Amino acid sequence: MINVIRAELTKLRRPSLSISTVVAVTFVTGLVTSLLFLLVDSPEGNGERGTRISREVLELSSGISISFKNSAGLLGIVALCIFAAQTAQEYTYGTLRNLLVRQPSRMKILVGKLIAMKMFAVVMVSISALLALSLSYIFAGVMDVSTAAWSTPDARSAVLRGFVNVLIATIGFGIFGMILGLLFRSPITAISIGVIWNLIIEGLLSVFISNLSKYFPGQLLSVVADGGTEKISYKYALLTSYSFLLAGLLIVAVLFKKRDVAN
């Protein structure tokens, strides 16, 4: 198991993947944070789906973590793409055969890959958190937003809760990507379907059909990242989304064990 994790981490540390991930995380976090503060006085809104987050809300102790939590959805898409690609490309490149020579147990390979990619997600979310907090202070000074409440114990608790919730949601999106990668065994197909489903299908259906978001894993993971909403509780979103993911993971684990190693 340890060797599988080390092997997967070696792949994840490749400059082509690690640098591109840092660039993607930096872009996503920087975009969300800058829009949140620079459009704080805009009547069109400065938050997700055109919601307006006022100056007074940003000046609260929880205001320092808002930009980071708002980045969770796009961070999840980045994680989905990475998990899907790293899983499916074993079939595309035929490297799964080589892995099975060194480690015949397919379940150990699957669990080891999942653990390694979770560790990668922790690093990814940590980078986003540090960047979001730093940029929040910078843009707060530019837009004359008071940061007096951001140094209180309540603010530190809000940051910690936000980090844990965003991490749980990001890993959940990553597991969704891993499920698609094992199911379709093609990086392009898995990533395309994952992005279309989360950004378009779930988003549109949730807007036009009320209460349908309570049954979509992507929407529920976004609720988890936000710490719960008025319509959907944190506990319901966490348990329901991960129940869907666990069921999907069990199904593709059986397929992974039974199907041919080549695509």
- pLDDT tens, residue order, the chain (263 aa): 788 888 888 888 889 899 999 999 999 999 999 999 998 888 887 777 668 888 999 999 999 999 999 999 999 999 999 999 999 988 888 787 778 778 788 889 999 999 999 999 999 999 999 999 999 999 999 999 999 999 999 999 999 999 999 999 999 999 999 999 999 999 999 999 999 999 889 888 887 777 788 889 999 999 999 999 888 999 999 999 999 999 999 999 999 988 876 65
Q: Tokens representing 15?
A: 């400059």
Q: Tokens representing 207?
A: 């807007």
Q: Residue 28's CB: how many other CB atoms inside 10 A?
A: 20
Place of tokens 């996503």: 28
The pLDDT score that the predictor gives to residue 103 is 79
The pLDDT score that the predictor gives to residue 18 is 92
Give the integer Cα–Cα distance in Å for 142 and 25. 23
Closest C-alpha among 131, 144, 154 to residue 68: 131
The pLDDT score that the predictor gives to residue 11 is 86
Angle at the Cα of 184 (from 251 to 224), degrees rounded to 5?
60
The pLDDT score that the predictor gives to residue 259 is 81
The pLDDT score that the predictor gives to residue 262 is 60
Q: Return the amino acid letter for 116.
A: A
Within 13 Å, how many C-alpha atoms sit on residue 67's CB side? 31
Place of tokens 């910078």: 138
Q: Tokens representing 23?
A: 């660039």
